[in-house]
Structure 1
Amino acid sequence: MVDTPRPGEPFGRYRIVRRIGHGGMGTVYEAVQENLGRSVALKVLLPQFSDEADFRARFAREAHALAALDSPHAIQVYDHGEESGQLFIATQLIHGPDLQRLVAERGPMPMSMALHVVAQVASGLADAHSVGILHRDIKPSNVLLREGHSEAHAYLCDFGIARAEDDDHTVTGGVTGTVGYMAPERHQGAPASAQTDIYALGCLLWVLLSGQSPYAGNTGVQMALAHMHEPVPQLGGSSSVLTAVNAILARAMDKRPDRRYSSAIEMRRDLLKATEAATAGGAAAADTVLRPPVEGTELRSPVQIASVPASTTPRRRRSGALLAAAAVAVVALLGGVGVALAGTGDDESDGDRASGTAGANASGSSLPAGADEEEASGSETAAVEPPPESEPSPSSTPKPRSRKSSTPTPEPSESVTSTPSPAIETAPATTVGCWNGAEASSRQACGLPSGPAGLATVFPSMAGCAATTSTVAGKVEVYECGYGDFLIRYTRWAPGFDRYGYLDSNNGVDAAEWYAQGEFAGRQWTNFEGGDPQPYQWSATYRYYPYSVSVEGTSEDARQRGVAAVAVTAPSRIGLR
C-alpha cells in the first residue's frame, strides 16, 4: 500500500508543507521544490491511476500541453512525473480566493471590477486556445484572484479536464464540464470548442455581476434544459454601459455557437471597451453593484433582469424535445473522463484556497445549490439531486423583470417547460439619506463622498483636518491632522488608481486584512520607516472604495494611540449620511 505524503515529509524533490484539499482524483498540497526553494501546488493522484496505461499516457500528454501555456492569467505548470508509484503535477501556487468564494462572501462585484476580471480571464483563455488547449470547465471556482499587489489579478486555473484541440483520445460520448456553465450544444453531446469556453465565460460574467448562476434548477437535468431553452439573462437598465454589457452577455451566451464571439480575444476587446466606458462614466457607473435587496438593510434596489429570446432552433414535437433533452442531460452527467491537473475540480478544500483547489459552495451564497457543484466528469451515478463599489451582503434570487432589449430579437424557439427561477417579492419603493444631504433611491445612487464634508462621512475623525497637497499622482484629496507625537492623514484616490500596489511598494511589507465596524473593508499595513521623523507608521485602504487613512508616530505607543483615534465608516454605510 502506498503511503499518503504528510506535512514535513519529502516527496521526491519536494517537501510537503500542508494539505490544501482532496477529492476523488487525489490530494493537493502546498510544497517546496527544495532544489529551487520554490513554493508550488503539488497534486498527487491516487495510486490506482498509475496502473492504467491509457490514463498515464493521457496524463503525460495533457501535462506537456499545459506546460507550453505561458500566460500571465493562467496557472503555470512547472513539473510532472511519478514518485513512489503515484503520478503528480506541480503548478504555480497562488495565495488568494477563488471567485466563487469571493462572490459568496462579499456579493456581486462592482461593474468595472467584474468587467476587468473577466477581461483578464479572457486573456488567459485566449493564450490557452493559441496553443491548442480547451479549458472545458470555466466557472467561478476555477478562477483565482490575487489581491496583494494590484487591484485584482486573475488566474484561470484547474485545466484538469482540458485537452489539446487535436487530441483524438477523448472518450467517445463523454461530456466533461460543470452543468451550470456548459453551453447548450454540450448538453446535446456536441464536442467542446473555443465557443463552448466562450459561453462559459459569459456565464462567469453574469455570476460576478449578479451573484447568481445564469439559470436555476434543482437537478442537472433542469439546469441543462434551462441552458438549452431559456433566454439569455440580461441586466435591467438603459445606460450605455449596461447596454454594452448586455450585448456582451447576449453574444457570448447565444444558443447558437456560430453567433458567439469568434475568439476569446474578440470578447476581451469588448470587455475592455465596456470597462473604459464604466470608468469614463464616473464613480456612479464604475462603482455600480447589481444585487437583490437584503432584508433589514437600506439597499432596497433589486437586481432587474430582462431577457434576450433564445435563438431559433428546429421545431419539433414538444414531447420528443423534452425526452431527448432529458436523455442527453443525463448522459452529460454520466459520461466523460476528467484529469485534474492544476487543481482539484472535485476536491474538498481544507482551508483557504491557494491554487487550483475547488471548495464547496460557501454557506449563504446566492449561487443556487448545484450551480457550481454538479459536475459531469466521470460520475458513475445518475443526476445528483442537490437539495458605488459596494460591499457584499447575503442576497436572494430576484424576481425577473422584463424589458425591451437592444439586442436584435430572433425568432424564439418552441417553449419547453422547466422549473422557474425562485423569486422574491419586489422591495417597496424607498429612499435613503445621502452623504451630501440629498435623498436617493439607493446608496449607489448617492455617489461617492468627496470634499472635506464628504470624507468626514467616511472618516468621522477627520472633521477639522487641514487640506494639504501631495506629489503622488493618484491622490485627489489629502487632509492631515497633527496631534503632537503623531499625525493622521486621510486620502481620496483617483478611481482606478492602484492603491494596493502603491501602498505595498511604499510600505515594503505584506498587507493584512482590515475591518471597519466589524465588516471586511480592505487591507492594512504596519511598518517602520527608518530615517523618517515619525517612523512608526500604519496605513489602511478600502477594497472597493477609493479612500485610505494612515498614521505616522514618533514611537510605537504614539502609533497605537493614532490608530485608536481613527474613526471609520463600515463599507455598507459609505455614501449615506
Structure 2
Amino acid sequence: MAWVKGDRLQGGKYTIERELGRGRFGITYLVRNNNSDRLVIKTLNDDLLKSLTQQERERLETMFWQEAVKLTLCKHKHIVQVAQPFKEGEHWCLVMEYVDGVSLADRRQQILSEQEALRYIQQIGEALIVVHENRLIHRDVHPGNIFLRVRDGQPEAVLIDFGLALDFDHILTTNRTKETSEGFTPPELYAQSIPTGAYSDIYSLAATLYVLLTGKTPVSALKRKIDNARLVEPKDWNNQVSDRTNRAILTGMKLDPKERSQSMREWLDSLGLTAENSQPSVIVPSNTKSNWERKIQFWGVVIATIAAIGTLLAGIAPWIPIFHLFPSSNQPSPSPSPSSTKSL
C-alpha cells in the first residue's frame, strides 16, 4: 500500500507529509517525527512486491534489510545519515536525514571552476572511501544524487540515495539498464558476469567531475563498448581543465575496470587531493608573493636579527661587568614548589 499525507507510522512516531519520489523498486516519503524534524523514509514498492513470488519477495526484503543495516555504519559528514530500519506492517522502512538543498544536477552554473568542482568531488570521494571500507558500493553516483547544503556559511556536497536496486536487480531479471544512469554507470553494472568494486564508483564519480567541468553528459559506457562511440576528452570541451584533472577523469572512466584506479584513495591522489579538506594545489608564479608570504618573510628576518644580536651579546658578556649581575645560564634552576605546579 502507498501511504498518504497524515498517515502515522511506528505508533505515531512518524507522520507522512508527502511522497517525494517513486521508482521501480522503492518509494520515498517526506515525514516529520515527534520533534517536528523533517526526515525521509524509504520503503520497497508494494506494486513490485506483489508481482514477485513469495521466495523472491522474501529474498528481496532480506537484502533490503541487510543493506540498510550496513548503511547505518557509513558515518560521514558528506553521507546522508541513516537510522536503523524498522518494519511497518509488512513493509521494511529505512529512515534517513532530510537534506534541504539543491542537487548538482540542478546547479545554476552549468560549468564550475576546476577548484570548486574538485572541492565537491573531494568531499564525495572521501565519503565513498567510508562506504567502501564497509564493503559496500554506492552504485548510483551522479549529479542528481549529490546535494549541496550550506554548513557554516559554506556549500558542501552530500551523497544521497544509495543504488540498492542495482544490487537486487540480478535476482529478478538480466536486464539491468532500467536502473542505470545514462553516462554515469560503468559497463560492469550493465552485466551480471563482471564483478563490481570500488572502481565502479570511481567511474561514476569521474563522470560526475566530467559534467561539472564541461556541462556535457559523457557518452554512455554501453555505447562506447557496443557502438565504439568516442569519449570526448574534457579538455576538448573546456580548455581551462588542467592536464592532471583531464588525465584523472579519463583514467577513472576506462571501460576495463582493471585499467582504472583500484581504490578511491588512489584516484583522489591522482587529482592532487591527498587528504580530507585538502584543496588542489595552486602554482604561484615565483615573482609574486601573497600577503601572508610577505609577513612570514618579514618576521623571519626579525627573528634571525634577534638571534644574531643574542649571539653577539653572549660573546662579549665576559668583558662587560654588568652581565655578572645576572646568574650564569649554567647554574641549575630552582625546582618548582608543589604549589606552583599544576597538572594539565
Shift in Å, 1:277: 4.5
2:77 corresponds in structure 1 to 72
- Structure 1 CA distance for aligned equivalents of residues 279 and 7 of structure 2: 50
Letter in 2 for 1:212: K
Q: How does 1:508-527 map to 2 (within 5 A)?
A: none
CA drift of 1:71 comes to 1.6
- Residues 549-564 of structure 1 aligned to structure 2 (within 5 Å): none
Q: Which runs of 4+ in 1 moved over 6 A?
A: none
Pair 1:190-2:188 in alignment: no
Measure, in 1, the Cα distance between the counterparts of 2:250 and 2:14.
Answer: 47
In 2, are the aligned partners of 1:111 and 1:278 still within 8 Å (CA)? no
Alignment of 1:28-427 (within 5 A): 28-34=28-34, 38-48=37-47, 49=49, 52-102=57-107, 105-147=108-150, 149-161=152-164, 173=174, 175=176, 177-187=180-190, 189-215=193-219, 222=223, 225=226, 230-231=230-231, 233-236=233-236, 242-273=242-273, 276-277=279-280, 279-280=282-283
Q: Give the Å deviation of 1:270.
A: 3.3
Q: Deviations over 1:529-553 (max 9, x none)?
A: xxxxxxxxxxxxxxxxxxxxxxxxx
> Residue 232 of structure 1 contacts residue 249 of structure 1 at CA under 8 Å; is this kept in 2?
no
Shift of 1:82: 2.1
Corresponding residue number in structure 1 for 2:330? none
Q: What letter is aligned with 1:242?
A: S
Partner SS state of residue 57, structure 1: helix
Are the counterparts in 1 of residues 219 and 229 from structure 2 also a CA contact under 8 Å? no
Mapping of residues 426-441 of structure 1, within 5 Å: none
On the 8 A contact 1:99/1:141 being kept in 2, the answer is yes
Change (3 A) 1:71 1:273: closer
TM-score by length of 1: 0.42
Aligned counterparts of 1:153 and 1:101: Cα–Cα separation in 2? 15
Q: Percent identity?
A: 24
Using the TM superposition, give the Cα deviation of residue 193 of structure 1 relative to its aligned residue in structure 2, in angstroms: 1.7
TM-score (norm 2): 0.68
Distance in 1 (alpha carbons) for counterparts of 2:284 and 2:100: 33
Q: Distance in 1 between matches of 2:28 and 2:282?
A: 39
Deviation at 1:180, TM superposition (A): 1.9
1:5 aligns with 2:26: no
With over 3 angstroms needed to count, the CA separation of the structure-2 counterparts of 1:42 and 1:206, relative to structure 1, is same
Q: Distance in 1 between matches of 2:145 and 2:74?
A: 16
Which has more helix, going by share of residues? 2
1:10 positional shift: 1.5
Q: Secondary structure at the match of 1:120?
A: helix
- Aligned residue pairs: how many? 270
Structure scoring higher RCO (CA < 8 A, sep ≥ 6) equals 1
Please tell me whether Structure 1 or Structure 2 has the larger radius of gyration of its CA atoms: 2
C-alpha separation in 1, matches of 2:215 and 2:234: 13
The alpha carbon displacement at 1:281 in A equals: 5.3
RMSD across aligned C-alpha pairs, in angstroms? 3.2
